[in-house]
């Protein structure tokens, strides 16, 4: 800190930092995310970059352009290790020009005139050896800058750049399940980032760094509050606090949204009803929304969980989801706000397969929602399991804008302790073919609006971000935030590409690191499926906290909360029959899909027990019996974690010691828990199958009684 007064330089300080081999965790905390720019390590590439980028012409003024300029200056100075000159007036000497199309020279404008840059998009190209980053809007410039920095971070060549890019989905949103008391439902990385008591006056630096990180991957919306909502956030004093966050995020192109508790007119409005058809209720919401927009002119809108898991909703008044959503939509429409209405509903009064209920409830409503209503659908019909088939609603409501809801926080996938690269899961869903408009009707096309020609499109990811020093608890969980953002920008990206980008930006460009670690990331998702819920098993975790295995749980009051409801293991076999002979959930899919899932010779092994109840001695195509296959999949999951440990052990040359140790310890827990899953589940299933554990499967270490006795009342995230 004394440095500042010593050097008295306004913009750039250079100083020597001497590190002992034992240091504080500061430089290794992971706080910097994928934006912790370091000097390019490859000397040849560095020299090329330094030659290519010596001065920058960056005209224009706005809050967004200022942030873009600062980021580029920080990025270039650190990545190139030299001071790069910036000018906002002199374009002549520039080797890099960053300017909106209107601010380019007439000559360059003419050259680039035919390039159609889409909304929020940018173009990076060359003009006489000068690199040009251009866009129509300020936010396009910011996105272009972040993407250009990524090119340098990942040591890409700058020759022949002709990169035209724009987001394929309009609203790319994080959902924070953050409560007003600072706790986070299903949060495993500390407390909520939002320090409500200190808002609106105190703007935490983290808000700014959060916005930078989001903007760097193109996320442009954030729902600040839990879907299990609290009306209090809609009171004037909280709206003032929300406005302060909105002001902070705005330069980064990020809009704030809130969850709207359906009963708010009663709880904070003094009304006796929240009936959406009651004019007083409609007026209350209209006035409330007007107040919000008076403080936050670009407020995004409301996310609503209604009549689901105890949340209030229109059905409390004998009304429908359409009634509820449209009422809010009417209040928001004059201000261009949207309603994200969640389709995650199931009822304790409905005896049909839980997997069928959301489809049954919502598909008949197709076409009845107002234009600014987006129906937000979880990727699968149950609940963010390690693997689910895509939700049958996708493609089945062509007249309704459908948002994808992915879960980034690992509620069912090992909290912030297990290394699981989720973009692989997201890709599997996005690439699934609904066949609703014939072959090629990918879920991605439903989401981006191209399949059904929607004017608005959206995607949500339930955040894994908290106050932990490294934001996400597990250093590798940062990759899931990053990867969600990248897929929200372009749902057709390959997850391996994303993995590689993130690894290079965060750790090292060395091939001996990037190649094996990309494989590790890509494999990690199948590993967690194997050691938790192989072959289509699902929802067999322990109750409430969802920590660890609990296939034996059968006594919860609502049948569909019990794991036994989902695996249906008995002496005869295991699995949920969702064929015509069973719950017939398959009929909710388009014919080719239903046929594939319904027929034993076509259904993929990985979804086998999701759709079929089969005898223990059923023979899989791999030649093993079902019983043996289950055991061998659990074993494979455990072995895959061991393999991850081996690979990681080789990575010491590329990762700082404390960072390396941290991940090693977490992998140790992951292995312990993978074995726990295998042993507990196989012990339990063995009670039913009575069959010997397959050869090649390590026998459970303890008795079933022991596994059942384990209790974790203070597991995080509840």
Looking only at residues 307 through 366 of this chain, which bind a copy of itself when binding is defined by CB under 8 A? none
Q: Spot the catalytic one: 411, 468, 501, 526.
A: 411
Options 10, 51, 114, 695; binder of a copy of itself; rule CB under 8 A: 10
φ/ψ of 14, rounded to 5, equals -115, 125
Q: Does 1 bind a copy of itself (CB under 8 A)?
A: yes
Window 37 to 56, contacts with a copy of itself (CB under 8 A): 38-39, 41
411 is annotated as an active-site residue:
yes
Contacts with a copy of itself in 693-712 (CB under 8 A)? Answer: 712
Choosing from 185, 267, 278, 309, the catalytic residue is 309
DSSP code per residue over 122-165: EEEEEETTEEEEEESSHHHHHHHHHHHHHHHHTT---TT--EEE
Residue 581 three-state SS:
coil
**Given CA atoms 376, 382, 383, 385 in this order, what sign does their dihedral have?**
negative
Q: Which stretch binds a copy of itself (CB under 8 A): 281-289, 524-532, 622-630, 665-673?
A: 665-673
Does 182 engage in binding with a copy of itself (CB under 8 A)?
yes
Nearer to a copy of itself, 270 or 714 (CB): 714
Is 662 a binding residue for a copy of itself by CB under 8 A? The answer is yes
Residue 80's nearest CA partner among 56, 50, 58, 54 is: 50
Out of 60, 81, 592, 615, the only residue in the binding site for a copy of itself (CB under 8 A) is: 81
Q: Which H or E element spans position 301? A: strand 301-304
Measured distance CA(373)–CA(377) in Å, rounded: 13
- 309 as an active site residue: the answer is yes
**Residue 415 engages a copy of itself in binding (rule: CB under 8 A):** yes
* 3-state DSSP assignment of residue 279: helix
Binding of a copy of itself by 12 (CB under 8 A): yes
Calculate the alpha carbon distances from 492 to 227, 397, 429, 512, 625 in Å: 28, 21, 11, 27, 37
- 455 is a contact residue toward a copy of itself (CB under 8 A): no
Per annotation, catalytic residue among 71, 165, 353, 383: 383
Edge-first strand listing for the sheet containing 130-135: 85-87, 55-57, 96-100, 130-135, 122-127, 163-165
101 sits near a copy of itself (criterion: CB under 8 A): no
Q: Which stretch binds a copy of itself (CB under 8 A): 203-211, 276-284, 587-595, 686-694?
A: 203-211
Output 89 or 201, the one with its CB closest to a copy of itself.
201
What angle do helix axes 423-430 and 511-532 make, rounded to 10 degrees?
Answer: 70
Q: How far is the CB of 136 from a copy of itself (least distance, A)?
A: 25
Answer for the pair 165, 217: CB distance below 8 angstroms, yes or no. Answer: no
Residue 481 structure tokens: 């935030």
Residue number, 161 or 180, with CB nearest to a copy of itself: 180
Among residues 74 and 363, whose Cβ is nearest to a copy of itself?
74
Residue 253 CB, nearest approach to a copy of itself (Å)? 17
Note whether 64 and 251 are within 8 A (CB): yes
CA 33, 248, 221, 61 dihedral sign is negative
Q: Which is nearer to a copy of itself, 80 or 608 (CB)?
A: 80
From residue 613 to residue 652, the character string flagging contacts with a copy of itself as x (rule: CB under 8 A) and all else as - is ----------------------------------------
| Region binding a copy of itself by CB under 8 A among candidate stretches 18-26, 146-154, 349-357, 476-484 | 18-26
Q: For this structure, is 383 an active site residue?
A: yes
Which residues carry out catalysis? 309, 383, 411
């Amino acid at each position: 800190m004394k440095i500042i007064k010593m050097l008295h330089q306004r913009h750039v300080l250079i100083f020597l930092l001497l590190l002992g081999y034992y240091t504080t965790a500061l430089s290794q905390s992971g706080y910097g995310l994928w934006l912790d720019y370091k000097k390019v390590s490859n000397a040849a590439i560095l020299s090329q970059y330094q030659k290519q980028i010596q001065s920058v012409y960056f005209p224009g003024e706005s809050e967004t352009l200022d942030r873009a300029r600062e980021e580029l200056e920080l990025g270039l100075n650190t990545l190139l290790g030299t001071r790069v000159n910036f000018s906002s007036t002199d374009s002549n000497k520039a080797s890099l020009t960053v300017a909106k199309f209107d601010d380019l020279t007439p000559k360059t404008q003419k050259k680039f005139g035919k390039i159609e840059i889409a909304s929020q998009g940018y173009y990076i190209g060359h003009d006489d050896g000068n690199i040009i980053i251009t866009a129509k809007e300020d936010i396009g410039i910011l996105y272009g800058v972040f993407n250009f920095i990524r090119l340098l971070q990942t040591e890409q060549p700058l020759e022949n750049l002709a990169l035209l890019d724009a987001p394929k989905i309009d609203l790319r949103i994080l959902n924070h399940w953050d409560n007003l008391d600072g706790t986070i439902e299903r949060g495993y990385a500390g407390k909520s980032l939002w320090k409500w008591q200190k808002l609106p006056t105190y703007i935490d630096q983290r808000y700014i760094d959060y916005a930078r990180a989001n903007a760097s991957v193109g996320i442009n919306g954030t729902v600040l509050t839990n879907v299990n909502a609290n009306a209090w956030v809609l009171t004037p004093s909280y709206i003032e606090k929300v406005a302060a966050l909105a002001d902070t995020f705005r330069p980064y192109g990020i809009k704030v949204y809130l969850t709207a508790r359906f009963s708010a007119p009663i709880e904070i409005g003094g009304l006796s009803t929240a009936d959406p058809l009651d004019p007083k209720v409609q007026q209350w919401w209209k006035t409330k929304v007007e107040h919000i927009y008076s403080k936050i002119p670009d407020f995004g809108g409301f996310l609503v969980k209604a009549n689901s898991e105890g949340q209030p909703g229109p059905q409390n008044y004998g009304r429908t989801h359409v009634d509820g959503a449209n009422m809010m939509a009417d209040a928001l429409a004059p201000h261009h706000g949207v309603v994200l209405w969640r389709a995650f509903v199931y009822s304790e009064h409905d005896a049909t397969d839980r997997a069928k209920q959301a489809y049954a409830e919502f598909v008949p409503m197709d076409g009845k929602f107002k234009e600014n209503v987006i129906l937000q659908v979880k990727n699968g019909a149950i609940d963010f399991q390690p693997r689910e088939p895509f939700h049958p609603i996708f493609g089945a409501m062509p007249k309704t804008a459908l948002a994808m809801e992915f879960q980034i926080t690992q509620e069912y996938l090992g909290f912030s302790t297990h290394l699981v690269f989720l973009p692989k899961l997201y890709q599997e869903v996005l690439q699934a073919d609904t066949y609703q408009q014939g072959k090629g009707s990918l879920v991605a096309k439903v989401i981006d609006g191209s399949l059904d020609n929607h004017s608005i499109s959206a995607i949500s990811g339930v955040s894994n971000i908290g106050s932990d020093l490294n934001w996400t608890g597990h250093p590798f969980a940062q990759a899931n935030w990053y990867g969600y953002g990248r897929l929200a920008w372009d749902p057709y990206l390959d997850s391996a590409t994303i993995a590689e980008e993130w690894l290079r930006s965060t750790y090292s460009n060395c091939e001996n690191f990037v190649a094996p670690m990309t494989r590790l990331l890509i494999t990690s998702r199948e590993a967690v499926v194997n050691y938790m819920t192989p072959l289509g098993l699902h929802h067999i975790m322990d109750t409430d906290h969802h920590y660890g295995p609990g296939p034996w749980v059968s006594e919860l009051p609502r049948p569909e909360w019990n794991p036994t409801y989902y695996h249906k293991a008995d002496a005869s076999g295991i699995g949920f029959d969702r064929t015509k002979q069973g719950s017939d959930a398959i009929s909710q899919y388009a014919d080719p899909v239903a046929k594939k899932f319904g027929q034993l010779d076509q259904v993929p092994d990985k979804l086998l027990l999701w759709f079929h109840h089969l005898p223990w001695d059923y023979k899989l195509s791999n030649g093993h019996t079902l019983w043996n296959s289950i055991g061998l999949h659990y074993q494979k999951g455990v072995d895959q974690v061991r393999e991850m440990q081996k690979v990681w052990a080789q990575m010491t040359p590329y990762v700082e010691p404390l960072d390396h140790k941290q991940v090693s310890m977490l992998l140790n827990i992951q292995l312990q828990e993978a074995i726990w899953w295998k042993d507990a589940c196989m012990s339990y299933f063995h009670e039913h199958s009575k069959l010997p554990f397959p050869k090649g499967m390590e026998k459970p270490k303890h008795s079933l009684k022991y596994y059942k006795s384990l209790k974790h009342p203070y597991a995080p995230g509840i």
